Every structure is written in C-alpha cells, then in structure tokens.
Structure 1
Amino acid sequence: MMPRSLSHRLLALFAGTVAGLLLPQASSPAQAGTPLPEGNSSSEMFGKVYHCNPGPWGQLEYYYIYLEAPQSLIEHFPMPNSVTKWEFPAATEGDLRALFTRASLPQALQDYLLDAKNCVNKDGRITVFPPLPDLSAMTPAQRSVIYAELAKTPENEFYFNPVFITSGSVDQWLGQSRLNPELREVIKKFTYMRGEVLAFSDLSAVLNYVKTDAEAKDFFKTMTRTRSLMLKLVVDDNTDFKSVVRYWSGRKRNKDIEPLVGSTLETEGENKLDVIQLLPSLARRFLYGYPPMELAVLGRMPDCHWTSLNFFNYKPREYYLDTRLATAAVLENYNRIEAPFEFGDVLMFLNAQGNAIHSCVYVADDIVYTKNGENIASPWLLMKIGDVQRIYSYEGQTSVQGFRLKASVETTGGEE
C-alpha cells in the first residue's frame, strides 16, 4: 500500500516542511547558527546569464530554468474538488470574526460566511465555504492574513502546502506554460505573500475558470512548475586549475574531478563545464529529477535530510529517512562549523527553538543543492540560499548552522 502522504492530492505534495531534526540546543548565541543572507533573487530575470562571486570554486555562471513534474507522475493523483472550503479546527465564531476583521473582509461577507446556512459548525470545528466571486475579489493582503491561519491546519492542504513562486513574478513562472493568457491573469489575481515569498493556494477556485478537461490537466501540471538554476564552471587560461580541482573534490570525497576539468580546458572552442558533472554520483543522478514511484515501497519518500546526508554516497543509506537515525548521524559523523562553507557541507536551517526544519548541501557562493520536502512532486534543485530561506522562514526568523563530515567517516562513494 502507498504511504498516506502519496495518496494526498498532488498539490499537497508540491512543497512542505519536513520533520525537523532534533539537534541539541547550542550552548551559546555564537553557536546557534548565523543569520542567513538577505539577497533577493527576484531581481534576477529568466533568460539571462549571471555570474557568481569569485572564490575557490572558480568562475561560475548560472541561469534559471523551470521544471515540471512528468505527466506519468501526475496521472497518479486525482483532481481536487472545485469548491473551496476553509477548515478551522477548535475555532469559535468569535475567533473567526476577529480573523476576518483583521483581514478587513467586508461586514456583509463576514455575516454570509458565518451564517449557519452557509457554514458547518460541528464538534468545535468550523468549515467555511467562501463564494467564488468574493474569493476572487479578495486582495493579496487579505489572503495573506487568512491563509496564514489556514496554513496551520494540514486539512487545508493547498494552504498548508502552497506553490512557491520564488522568482516573485507570475509572468516568469508561467512564461513557457501552455496556459492561455486569460487563465494566467486569473492565477495572478489569486497569488499572495507567504512571509517573503510569493505563493499560490487557490487551485480549487481556479479550476472554475478552465473550460475543457485538457485545459484542466494542463493547469494541474503547470502548478508543479519549480524554478532551479543551471550552473556552469568557466574553464579558461585564467582558471587556477589546482585550486578548482581541490575545491570540487570535496576533501577527496568526490573523485575523478581532475580529468573532467582538464579535458574542458584542453578542448578547443569549449570553456564551460556543467556543474552537474562535478557532483558526486548520487547527487548527479537525481538533480533536476523527481523521486521514482518505486521508492514508495520504503514507506517514506526522500526528504531534505536524506538528500543532504547521502550527498557523497553512491548507494543511499535509506535509514536516513528515519528522523531519529538522521539526527544520530549528524551528531556522530559531522562537526559543527561556521562560514565560510565548502563544497559538500550540510547546512541546517534552524528555527527559534534550535531544531533543524530543513537541510541542504552547500555547492558554491550562495548556491545549494536541495530537495524541498518529502514529496514525490518535489524535485532535486540548485537554488540560492536566500530563496530557500524565504520558503522556510515564514513563521519566524531562521538561522543556518553548518556541519562538515568528519575526515574519519567513510562514504559509499566511488562504488560505480
């Protein structure tokens, strides 16, 4: 039987916070992790090439790409209902009045939503059914207030796990999609800010605007669109060959880098090497891809911690899916470190309580290798650290703590 998380509707699998690793509290503020960078990649445009800061990684340039889940994956999940409902467990009418007032909903709409004829109040749970015209007329600010409350409840699947538009631009996000201009404008109207990142949750509502079954399927598939980076290493006469090879070798855990870099340097008319070729074998295999369905037999899908701790392995250690064992692996096999970070270092995103709510792997400059959630429709990506921060810090300030694999720890690398 598939695990329950795979039987949820597809959008509930697009993104989501994984269970945090229960790392011990830091003994002093200096050990609690450093604030994350505040750079905002939303000023960077799709279709342009950008350059990384100089460093031991060499000359790097990148551009943005968009990924979509394959149709074969999407066919495993049913379409959601086109009727929008908001679930408020353990809420009173007074609580909702206060929430709707804080969101500046018109009094007439508040009265309608809380009228006994239009909502269900049972066993301390209130279910509200907002009418489509009023839902469409809501402002982004109103959505942000109400959807932040809805996001606290997993039953509100599309609000609990929204689609994140890290570019900050709906036009860029949907630019290469097959959706017609009218539907794109409808989607844009329903976007809102979740913390510091643009988000979309109203899949059910927008289904009312599609006209054919084919268009509904295109819309559903488009909602899996995720932005990633394509990263290239420039290899030319200015390249410090030994330094670059040393950096990407990850303290000799990532083997056979020298022939790749050297071959590029000596090839006439070719001076760029896709960084995917410099990643360890498992990371190289998964980057830009989606988890295969057969991994469902493990009872858990690969999450960020599984991804981070297996980075240098050729054969993944599946027990890293167990949060308890993943925590033990970090405490036993890694040393806490501070910036500057190196290729292959694990970065833990810590909440105010000191628990790791997300982890990823440092690549170079401000770029990381990440999988954002235990989701079959969440691919492995290269992202800016600031973009990852905005996804995971909407409930409060986060910091980052670096961890480096101890020299004495063996990996399964090189067993191809």
Structure 2
Amino acid sequence: MMSRTSPKFPFTTFVSAIALVMPWLTAPAPVQAGTPLPSSPDSTSEVFGKMYQCHPGPWGQLEYYYIYLEAPPSLIEHFPMPNSVTKWEFPGETEAGLRNLFTRASLPQALQDYLLDSKNCVNRDGRITVFPPLPDLSVMTPAQRSIIYAELARAPENEFYVNPVFITSGSVDQWLGQSRLTPELREIIKKFTYMRGEVLAFSDLSAVLNYVKTDAEAKDFFKTMTRTRSLMVRLVVDDNTDLKSVIRYWSGRKRNKDIEPLVTSTIETEGTNQLDIIHLLPSLARRYLYGYPPMELAVMGRMPDCHWSSLNFFNYKPREYYLDTRLATSAVLENYNRIEAPFEFGDVLMFLNAQGNAIHSCVYIADDIVYTKNGENMASPWLLMKISDVQRIYSYEGQTSIQGFRLKPGVETTGGEQ
C-alpha cells in the first residue's frame, strides 16, 4: 500500500510500556520544537532552489537547500493502484452521528440527504460506507475536508486519510514544480488539498484518478504522490573552522567513524570547502538516507519504521528485533538515559502527545535538523528534515512535546567497519 505515515503505530504502545517502569514519561516537561533548540525561519517560507544557513554551533558552519525525492519505478510497481471510486468508511458510526459531522462541516442539506440515502450508502455490521459523488467532492472547501477527513483518519480502513501526502513546504506549486504532471492536473490536485493540523495535506488519490487521461499519466500521478521534501546539508570547512570542535561533535561521543581524514582532506583540497554531511553519518544511516526501503527489508514481516531507524542509528548492522515493540521498549529502558536540550548528534528525540504517548521518534543531527523516517512503509524514505516540519506532521491532534534520549556510556553498538 502507498501509506506514508502511521502517526500512532506503534509508538503509543511503545511508550505506554516504558511508562509502567518510568512514570515520568507520561508527564514530560514540555520541550517544544525550536525552544530551547536553536530557532530558525519558518520552513514554509523557505523555497526550493535557494541556499540557507544554519545557526553556528559545535557542529560547525552548515548550509542547506531543499530537494524532492520520489520512489523509483521499480518500487511503484509493488503498490496497487487505488480504485477511482471514493468511499468513506465510518466504523461504529450512526446516521445521526454522521449527520452531525456533515453539519459541522457545513455540507449542504441536499448533499447530506444524498450521502445518507440507503441507495447511496451501505450500513452493515455497525459500519456505514459513504460514496461521495465526484462533482460534490471536487467543490468541497479545504475547511470541509479538514473536518470530515479528520474523522476518516480515525479508521485504518481509510488509508489515504489516515496517511495523507504531506506538503511540508505549504506550496503545491513547489511540491509539483519538477513533476511531469500537466498544468491542468496540478490545478486539480491543488483544489483537493486541505490543512491537517498545521500542515498542508492531500488524500483524494481516488478522486483525482478520474481526471487522468491515460494509463501512463495515471502511473506518473501515482509516482508523484510519493514526492517528499528533504534537506541536503553541507558542512563548510575552511581555515576559520574550529577543526577540533567539529570533529568532536560529529564523532558522536566516539560512536561514529573516524571523520577527521574526511574533514581535513576537504580543507586541504584547493577549490572546495564543502562536505556533504551524508559522509559524516554512521554507515547504516548513510546507506539509507534519501532512499526508499528496499524489498529485501520486507522479509522480516514488517518494514522499518522511525523507531527501528532511530535505535539503529549508530549500528553497522541493524538489530532487526527493534521491529518488536516489546524488545525496542526494553532497549530504551536498558540502554538510554532521559535527557533535556541542548541535544547532541545521535540523540533520539521522541515526540509526545498531550497524554505522554510517543507518536514519533527521530535522531538529532545538528541545529534544528533531524534524521527521520515518517512511517512504516515502502513509500516513506529516510530524510533530513527541520524539527518544526516533523512536529507539524505529528501535531494534528494537539500540542506535542519533545523528550530526548541518549545512549548510556559503554553501551555497545553492532560492530563492523564504519
């Protein structure tokens, strides 16, 4: 399936289990993203095609620009194309409840009557399935979509509402700027976008399929829906660089490879003073960054999620049992200390909701940049993102806070040449 994020799976279970032993985790100190972390411009005001500067710090002088990733055709072939008929699943809902929902969304009374007419919906086994007609669906306002789609996101049967396409730039034009889609189709997609919390989203893949004209265009559209914004980050090194401090920071408390030759070689090379930080990451993170999960990872029965990615960050060979929530919980209990900001390279950051449940985890890199995988599925690549962008994705149900965890001294990572 082409779901991209699973905000509540499996991290609620994960942190609830930890909380049985560490009750403080259910009442975290509200460490909001960006405070006291270094503040940065709103990433929605930053545009594709420009270079930006990070705040100075022990990580050195960093600069970054935005790139867009798309899943390769070989991966797209494994995703089933959705049906072009839109359906809304409401398990455990009543007709009265749906009328209340549609009224809150300000749907016209005539449309409400049509949607709930027994000729146009299915009410069976405690589940109501509604089939909104395309003309009415296409003229819904973003505010109407936000209200109804938030309710649809509660049921896993509504795959593309539970896991929408997130447009973190806030601009459909930027998101689709380098795609092969026609201008007409881009404008249609724009009409179907809505706000999910604080981030622009798109869920109506089935509806938009009605507007494509050929099989090739349908495949291009489907591929484009995997487009994800990431950061490309470079370390600037020159005669003014505090070499000792930079090497100490990126060594991750000596858990990372020996990076000194990389940095000094860049300084001593005439005509260049920049080093892509992908070369400064541990081997596993370096291998997967900017890529989509290969099929061979599926043999474990579950695809890597953000938790697997975070806990394996310093490992040369991944510990596959981190896909088991119980064992991952045990690893955090035994191997990590709870910490507060300022964070360091390699620290695990958990995003907690108001109930204290972890809804996401990622790895702190530098300034306000993290290494993250936003979902347990093949359509979610490994990315570098602004903390604020990650937080906007996972804060659609309310305010989130950040809790840091750091590997205890002496904890072994899996071996191998880094």
Corresponding residue for residue 72 of structure 2: 70
Does the CA-based 8 Å contact 1:288-1:379 persist in structure 2?
yes
Corresponding residue for residue 133 of structure 1: 135
State the alpha-carbon separation in 1 of the partners of residues 203 and 244 from structure 2: 48
Question: What is the Cα deviation at residue 154 of structure 1?
Answer: 0.6
State the alpha-carbon separation in 1 of the partners of residues 326 and 80 from structure 2: 33
Corresponding residue for residue 176 of structure 2: 174
Given the superposition, is the C-alpha separation of residues 258 and 153 from structure 1 closer, same or farther in structure 2, using an over 3 Å criterion? same
Q: 2:50 aligns with which of 48, 51, 66?
A: 48
Residue 81 of structure 1 aligns with an amino acid whose one-letter code is N
Residue 27 of structure 1 aligns with an amino acid whose one-letter code is W
Does the CA-based 8 Å contact 2:26-2:357 persist in structure 1?
no
3-state DSSP of counterpart to 1:227: strand
Identity between Structure 1 and Structure 2 (%): 83
Structure 1 position 149 matched with structure 2 position 158? no
Question: What is the Cα deviation at residue 354 of structure 1?
Answer: 1.6
State the alpha-carbon separation in 1 of the partners of residues 382 and 317 from structure 2: 17
Question: What is the Cα deviation at residue 90 of structure 1?
Answer: 1.0
Corresponding residue for residue 124 of structure 1: 126
Q: What are the superposed Cα offsets for residues 199-253 of structure 1, whole Å, 9 maximum, x if unpaired? A: 0000000000000000000000000000000000000111101000000000111
Structure 1 position 27 matched with structure 2 position 24? yes
Given the superposition, is the C-alpha separation of residues 127 and 273 from structure 1 closer, same or farther in structure 2, using an over 3 Å criterion? same
3-state DSSP of counterpart to 1:277: helix
State the alpha-carbon separation in 2 of the partners of residues 15 and 348 from structure 1: 16
Residue 15 of structure 1 aligns with an amino acid whose one-letter code is T
Corresponding residue for residue 58 of structure 1: 60
Does the CA-based 8 Å contact 2:28-2:356 persist in structure 1?
no
Structure 1 position 87 matched with structure 2 position 102? no
State the alpha-carbon separation in 2 of the partners of residues 28 and 253 from structure 1: 26
Corresponding residue for residue 273 of structure 2: 271
Given the superposition, is the C-alpha separation of residues 79 and 31 from structure 1 closer, same or farther in structure 2, using an over 3 Å criterion? closer
Q: 2:397 aligns with which of 371, 375, 395?
A: 395
State the alpha-carbon separation in 2 of the partners of residues 324 and 128 from structure 1: 38
State the alpha-carbon separation in 2 of the partners of residues 44 and 169 from structure 1: 10
Greater shift, 140-149 or 392-401, is seen at 392-401
Corresponding residue for residue 15 of structure 1: 5
Corresponding residue for residue 113 of structure 1: 115
Q: 2:34 aligns with which of 34, 37, 43?
A: 37
Corresponding residue for residue 376 of structure 1: 378
State the alpha-carbon separation in 1 of the partners of residues 156 and 324 from structure 2: 21
State the alpha-carbon separation in 2 of the partners of residues 234 and 242 from structure 1: 14
Q: What are the superposed Cα offsets for residues 138-179 of structure 1, whole Å, 9 maximum, x if unpaired? A: 000000000000000011111111000011000000000000
Residue 265 of structure 1 aligns with an amino acid whose one-letter code is I
Residue 257 of structure 1 aligns with an amino acid whose one-letter code is I
Does the CA-based 8 Å contact 1:32-1:354 persist in structure 2?
no
Question: What is the Cα deviation at residue 331 of structure 1?
Answer: 1.0
Given the superposition, is the C-alpha separation of residues 30 and 319 from structure 1 closer, same or farther in structure 2, using an over 3 Å criterion? closer
State the alpha-carbon separation in 1 of the partners of residues 34 and 264 from structure 2: 33
State the alpha-carbon separation in 2 of the partners of residues 355 and 93 from structure 1: 32
State the alpha-carbon separation in 2 of the partners of residues 250 and 33 from structure 1: 26
Corresponding residue for residue 259 of structure 1: 261
Q: 2:293 aligns with which of 291, 294, 298?
A: 291
Residue 45 of structure 1 aligns with an amino acid whose one-letter code is V
Q: What are the superposed Cα offsets for residues 26-71 of structure 1, whole Å, 9 maximum, x if unpaired? A: 5399853512238631000000000000100000000000000010
Given the superposition, is the C-alpha separation of residues 362 and 130 from structure 1 closer, same or farther in structure 2, using an over 3 Å criterion? same
Residue 32 of structure 1 aligns with an amino acid whose one-letter code is A
Residue 217 of structure 2 aligns with an amino acid whose one-letter code is E
3-state DSSP of counterpart to 1:229: strand
Given the superposition, is the C-alpha separation of residues 28 and 65 from structure 1 closer, same or farther in structure 2, using an over 3 Å criterion? closer
Corresponding residue for residue 406 of structure 1: 408
Corresponding residue for residue 208 of structure 1: 210
3-state DSSP of counterpart to 1:167: coil
Q: Where in structure 2 are there 5+ consecutive unaligned residues?
A: none
3-state DSSP of counterpart to 1:228: strand
3-state DSSP of counterpart to 1:34: coil
Q: Where in structure 1 are there 5+ consecutive unaligned residues?
A: 1-8
Question: What is the Cα deviation at residue 256 of structure 1?
Answer: 1.3
State the alpha-carbon separation in 2 of the partners of residues 28 and 353 from structure 1: 10
Does the CA-based 8 Å contact 2:282-2:316 persist in structure 1?
yes
Structure 1 position 348 matched with structure 2 position 339? no
State the alpha-carbon separation in 2 of the partners of residues 30 and 161 from structure 1: 28
3-state DSSP of counterpart to 1:172: helix
Does the CA-based 8 Å contact 1:147-1:159 persist in structure 2?
yes
Corresponding residue for residue 5 of structure 1: none
Q: What are the superposed Cα offsets for residues 78-114 of structure 1, whole Å, 9 maximum, x if unpaired? A: 2111000111111111101100010001111111111
Does the CA-based 8 Å contact 2:28-2:401 persist in structure 1?
no
Residue 334 of structure 1 aligns with an amino acid whose one-letter code is Y
Superposed CA RMSD in Å reads: 1.4
Question: What is the Cα deviation at residue 353 of structure 1?
Answer: 2.1
State the alpha-carbon separation in 1 of the partners of residues 51 and 323 from structure 2: 36
Given the superposition, is the C-alpha separation of residues 32 and 328 from structure 1 closer, same or farther in structure 2, using an over 3 Å criterion? farther
Corresponding residue for residue 359 of structure 1: 361
